[in-house]
Amino acid sequence: MTTSLSYYEQVGGAPAVRTVVDGFYVRVLDDADLRPYFAGVDMPRLKRHMVVLLCSVLGGPEPYEGRDLAEAHRGMGITPEHYAKVGEHLLSVLREAGVGDEILQHVVLTLNKVESSIVAEPAETAD
């Protein structure tokens, strides 16, 4: 059965996304490898941005108009391994919320697409 509902509508809209984002940050902040990235961060503000971003990724009504992802993550030194862990936490929370495989695959594709904007370039450069 196909549905004409957007992924955003299928997951339950903004309230469901807020719940997912709350659970996501509980996991991320409980992860000793990831916690240092969030030291001194205004978490309520970050959560609001993440809700809007995830709603947008899922086809919600409001486009994401926050900072460019590359600009927002510049200088943070995010490694590919830590980026992958963040993605795993997000996918786990989405699965636990009952999100289906098609939507999970869409989120994975989006994560893959934006990874190069978020992960730091290696310190050493080849000339």
- For residue 109, being part of any structural domain is answered with yes
Residue 1 resides in a domain: no
Average pLDDT for residues 69-96, to the nearest whole number?
A: 95
Burial class (CB in 10 A: 0-12, 13-18, 19+), 27: middle
Residue 5: φ, ψ to 5°: -70, 140
Q: Say which residues have a Cβ less than 8 Å from residue 82's Cβ, sequence separation at least 6.
A: 33, 34, 37
Helix, strand or coil, per DSSP, at residue 61: coil
Q: Is 81 inside any structural domain?
A: yes
* Mean pLDDT rounded to a whole number for the chain: 91
How many separate domains does the chain show? Answer: 1
pTM of the model as a whole? 0.89
CATH for 37: 1.10.490.10
Collapsing DSSP to helix, strand or coil, 4 comes out as: coil
Whether 56 is in a domain gets the answer yes
